[in-house]
Structure 1
Amino acid sequence: MQTVVHLLSGDESEQETSLAIAQNLLDDETGSIDDVAIVVQAAGINAVKAGEDNEEQVRELLDSGISVKACSNTLDMMDLDEADLVEGIETVPEGAVEVTRLQSEGYAYVRP
């Protein structure tokens, strides 16, 4: 199975929950989870900015093989660029399009 976690919220609790869900999926001992992706857009982008409280956790997720994808439209709207994000985060043109693409490839959708 494959899962995409959609991180949109600026609420720190929801951001922490999204990252924890991704980690829990990765830690699943049944062996049924093949791939986990996190797509970040809107105010959720703050959860993956370099120098923020979640940076270490995001690095651990990336190091564990979880792909984290940030919406370029959001970066433009918030006057940020890729260098403002934790190193290793991929940018995609549009977060919603990326979520839709992943779902069309069979990813289950999770949004806390």
Structure 2
Amino acid sequence: MTDVPRTMAGLCVHGNGPSPETWLPASMRTALNAVADLGGDRPVELVVQGPGVALLTAGKGAEGPAAQLDELLGAGIAVLACANSLRSAGVDESDLRPGVRVVPAAVGHLARRQWDGWAYVRV
């Protein structure tokens, strides 16, 4: 598990729910749009919770959400997977695409970020 550094307040984009094939790409676009509009002055995180964590693995090919991860990471967006969701989905942390970090619990991470003044958007 990775310790996510506390930095200046930024934006947490939260992806969760059924049908991750729909909401994960939308969450990724939202995070990229936020960086484009807000500029590089504030950090942006994409926090993935629920069954969508299975789409963050390295073995999902060069298309779809997994391919978009490289674009997000290249734009400086932190992609964070919930460890509880990984366990529920049967995904090992070592199977995640390089650059994806893990937080112990999405709910705890999101709460701490909001207490630190971060903005929150759920997709």
TM-score by length of structure 2 reads 0.80
1:27 aligns with 2:36: yes
Partner of 1:43: 51
CA distance in 2, matches of 1:2, 1:90: 17
Shift of 1:31: 3.9
Percent identity over the alignment? 36
For structure 1, list consecutive stretches of 5 or more residues without a partner in the other structure. Answer: none
CA distance in 2, matches of 1:14, 1:74: 16
Give 3-state SS (helix, strand or coil) of 1:51's partner. Answer: helix
Partner of 2:119: 108
Give 3-state SS (helix, strand or coil) of 2:53's partner. Answer: helix
Deviations 1:56-89 (A, max 9, x none): 2111111211111111111112221112211111
Indicate which of 4, 20, 33 corresponds to 2:12. 4
1:51-66 equivalences in 2 (<5 Å) = 51-52=59-60, 53-66=64-77
**Structure number with higher helix proportion:** 2
Q: How many residues align?
A: 111
Return the letter of the residue paired with 2:22: S
Deviations 1:13-72 (A, max 9, x none): 2111110000000111x5485110011111121332223321221111112111111111
Shift of 1:106: 1.2
CA distance in 2, matches of 1:70, 1:61: 14
CA distance in 2, matches of 1:13, 1:45: 13
Partner of 2:79: 68
What is the alpha-carbon root mean square deviation over aligned residues?
Answer: 1.8
For structure 2, list consecutive stretches of 5 or more residues without a partner in the other structure. Answer: 1-8
